[in-house]
Amino acid sequence: METKKFVLLDIDYITEDDRAVVRLFGKLQGDEKGRSVIAVDKGFKPYIYVLPHDSEECVTDINEMDVEGVEWVREKDIGKTKDFLKVTLKHPQDVPKLRDKIRNLDSVLDIREHDIPFYRRYLIDKGLFPMSEVEVDGEFVNAEDNSFRCAEDTCVFEIQGEPRPVESEFPDLKILSFDIEVYNPKGMPQAEVDPIIMMSLSSNQGLEKVLSTKSSRLEFVETLESEEAMLERFVEIVKSENPDLLIGYNSDNFDMPYINDRAEKIGVELDMGTDASKLKFMRRGFANAGLIKGRIHVDLYLLMRRYLTLDRYTLERVYRELFDEEKEDVPGDEIYQYWDDGGEKLDTLFRYSLDDAVAVTKIGEKMLPLSLELTRIVGQPFFDIARMTTGQMVEWYLIRKAYEYGEIVPNKPSSTQYSERRSKRAAGGYVKDPVKGLHENIVSFDFRSLYPSIIISKNVSPDTMVSECSEDECYIAPEVGHKFLKEPVGFVPSIIGNILKERVRIKTMMKASENPREKQILDVQQQALKRLANSMYGVYGYSRFRWYRIECAEAVTAWGRDFIKKTMKQAEDYGFKALYADTDGFYATFEPSDEN
């Protein structure tokens, strides 16, 4: 038996002999540093919780089904201790198969935690965090003797016992950016007819290359005899560079599907995964996500929409915003002309293509650290985090915390609950229309993290909300009158409190640090925590969320309006004149009257 340590990049599960096998995709640390590893764990089973109506009958009913076993557990449900039946199933896909049957039993009141993807359950229950290190005991297995496939330079390790999270520094990640150019005489290209003419690659370790079916004197251009050869070379480079992160711009929607369609048409295998698997697409509602096992494909477009507030989100616009530099631009509908013209025009196109890939690398280096820190805090795969809204991150963070606190996670709303929730919206923050005109000597006031502070100071949480309560024992929200026990500290306030405490701790460390790189990492960490804390209010007001509670949302905004109005009133008593206010701050001029 050996012990191995690796950076956990990604996770999924496969089925072997009707049993689920969790696969942890990583990069080894230690003597084999940099080598890709797939660590497999055969010892984890799916489960759901059942809230019984009739305990004895419930056990009998469920044991008649094809389940692994049942066990009584005592857990909290919105703060109330209850006995749940923990039902372990044989395979993750038994959950959707059996859950309705179980829910509909007369002996059952409700089922819980029946919609948590298996790999997410694994991360939470084992206390593992992607983009952090994991230590495992076990043995290397020869992939050929098993059903575990892997790429040439990847090794397969079978875990025995429990994986252990390791406190670790932020990992060095190898990033490879890519961008394609397509022949498009008729506007937007059609994969059915329009070939890929260039594939650009740029890494954070100095690689700058454009593959093309035309030649050039430019040294970064590598010419291939056909589109087929170009696609094969692309796959070869991805495998040999062995990046942890593969990043593009709008690549979920354009580059990845296009490469896939052309490869399929021409007959090239895009077997770029570290398990030798092909490029796949995951339906995520209206959008697709390109997935390469063992490498994390990230579409920066999605992230930029989340992080920046701009009128447009073209690569050019985002690049200018972040670096205050103009990029060489070729209008999209003229690309085929540049290609056909050849000569200087063609060289311009080559440079433009490479520039795009290099810009993606630069944007990635600047903007990915925040998402990577959020990954290390929220504890879900980076692939998912890069495609989640902050609200969803908050929810997965709370789900992990619920496990630690012994709270059973509330169910997602049914479609009827959802539409019912949508029909009522909590009143928002206080807004005072601006006084028209050009004002001088403006002062601004703002509450730091107004909503998180209210949730903590007024203990606003579903588990502390009560209908009847005296003013001694409860905080009572203005206007709306919702009541929250002063003690004990609620689930959500407790978690926000810990986030803010952790943020203060990191900011202190940051100030004390002499090492600029360490300072920068700590700064991103505290930003990530701030983001999480500030988004946490949303869980009460967004109709989709598990911890939705309109009364909590109403109470928070009511206290918010109360605070800002009182503060404005006080400022006016001191001679300020409010000009404009919105939610957590206001602007004023100093206009003392004669008495002052």
Binding-site string for DNA from residue 515 to residue 554, where x marks contact by CB under 7 A and - marks none: -----------------------------x----------
Look up tokens 């021409």; give the residue: 266
Which token pair is 250? Answer: 């709008």
Q: Is 33 helix (H, G, I), strand (E, B) or coil?
A: coil
Q: Is 193 in the site for DNA (CB under 7 A)?
A: no
Backbone angles phi, psi at 39, to 5 degrees: -95, 125
Q: Is 119 in the site for DNA (CB under 7 A)?
A: yes
Our CB check for DNA shows the closer of 300 and 465 to be: 300
Q: Is 437 in the site for DNA (CB under 7 A)?
A: no
Which token pair is 520? Answer: 């920068």
Q: Is 234 in the site for DNA (CB under 7 A)?
A: no
Determine the interface stretch with DNA among 117-125, 164-172, 236-244, 372-380 (rule: CB under 7 A).
Answer: 117-125
- Count Cβ atoms below 10 Å from residue 316 Cβ, excluding itself: 15
- To DNA, the closest distance from the beta carbon of 185 in angstroms equals 9
Task: Among 84, 157, 170, 249, indicate the residue that binds DNA (CB under 7 A).
Answer: 249
Q: Is 314 in the site for DNA (CB under 7 A)?
A: yes
Q: Is 314 helix (H, G, I), strand (E, B) or coil?
A: coil
Smallest CA-to-CA distance from 378 within 535, 250, 196, 507 is with 535
Q: Is 366 in the site for DNA (CB under 7 A)?
A: no
DSSP label of 151: -
Look up tokens 């190898």; give the residue: 174
Which token pair is 277? Answer: 């698997």
Task: Among 254, 350, 451, 537, indicate the residue that binds DNA (CB under 7 A).
Answer: 254
Cα(405)–Cα(209) distance, rounded to whole angstroms? 50
Cα(178)–Cα(195) distance, rounded to whole angstroms? 17
Cα(128)–Cα(163) distance, rounded to whole angstroms? 8
- The CA–CA distances, whole Å, from 87 to 52, 61, 83, 272 equal 12, 12, 13, 38
Backbone angles phi, psi at 550, to 5 degrees: -55, -35
Our CB check for DNA shows the closer of 116 and 485 to be: 116
Q: Is 208 in the site for DNA (CB under 7 A)?
A: no
Q: Is 241 in the site for DNA (CB under 7 A)?
A: no
Q: Which helix (H) or strand (E) holds 179?
A: strand 175-182
Task: Among 118, 178, 576, 587, indicate the residue that binds DNA (CB under 7 A).
Answer: 118
Number of residues in contact with DNA under rule CB under 7 A: 48
Our CB check for DNA shows the closer of 221 and 456 to be: 221
Burial of residue 291 (CB within 10 Å: 0-12, 13-18, 19+) is buried
Show the DSSP H helices in 107-254 as ranges.
Answer: 118-126, 227-241
Q: Is 403 in the site for DNA (CB under 7 A)?
A: no
Q: Is 428 in the site for DNA (CB under 7 A)?
A: no
Task: Among 146, 195, 241, 313, indicate the residue that binds DNA (CB under 7 A).
Answer: 313
Task: Among 23, 114, 482, 549, indicate the residue that binds DNA (CB under 7 A).
Answer: 114
Our CB check for DNA shows the closer of 285 and 516 to be: 285
Q: Is 423 in the site for DNA (CB under 7 A)?
A: no
Q: Are 374 and 382 in contact (CB under 8 A)?
A: no
Our CB check for DNA shows the closer of 190 and 457 to be: 190
- Angle ∠(477,480,484) on CA atoms, nearest 5: 40
Cα(331)–Cα(390) distance, rounded to whole angstroms? 34
Binding to DNA (CB under 7 A) within 317-346 occurs at 331-333, 335
Task: Among 52, 189, 452, 560, indicate the residue that binds DNA (CB under 7 A).
Answer: 189
- To DNA, the closest distance from the beta carbon of 190 in angstroms equals 10
- Angle ∠(233,239,244) on CA atoms, nearest 5: 130
Our CB check for DNA shows the closer of 340 and 591 to be: 340
Determine the interface stretch with DNA among 118-126, 142-150, 164-172, 566-574 (rule: CB under 7 A).
Answer: 118-126
Cα(425)–Cα(73) distance, rounded to whole angstroms? 37
Q: Is 182 in the site for DNA (CB under 7 A)?
A: yes
Cα dihedral 53, 59, 61, 66 sign? positive
Determine the interface stretch with DNA among 23-31, 276-284, 457-465, 520-528 (rule: CB under 7 A).
Answer: 276-284
CA 367: distance to chain centroid? Answer: 14
Which token pair is 22? Answer: 């969790």
Q: Is 259 in the site for DNA (CB under 7 A)?
A: no
Binding to DNA (CB under 7 A) within 42-101 occurs at 46-48, 92-93, 95-96
Q: Is 277 in the site for DNA (CB under 7 A)?
A: no
Determine the interface stretch with DNA among 146-154, 246-254, 459-467, 529-537 (rule: CB under 7 A).
Answer: 246-254
- To DNA, the closest distance from the beta carbon of 567 in angstroms equals 27
Cα(151)–Cα(143) distance, rounded to whole angstroms? 10
Our CB check for DNA shows the closer of 329 and 591 to be: 329
CA torsion angle for 533, 537, 542, 544 (degrees, to 10)?
50
Q: Is 293 in the site for DNA (CB under 7 A)?
A: no
Determine the interface stretch with DNA among 41-49, 161-169, 231-239, 363-371 (rule: CB under 7 A).
Answer: 41-49
Q: Is 312 in the site for DNA (CB under 7 A)?
A: yes
Residues at the site binding DNA, with contacts judged by CB under 7 A: 13, 46-48, 92-93, 95-96, 113-119, 121, 179-182, 184, 187-189, 249-250, 253-255, 282-286, 301, 312-316, 331-333, 335, 356, 389, 391, 544
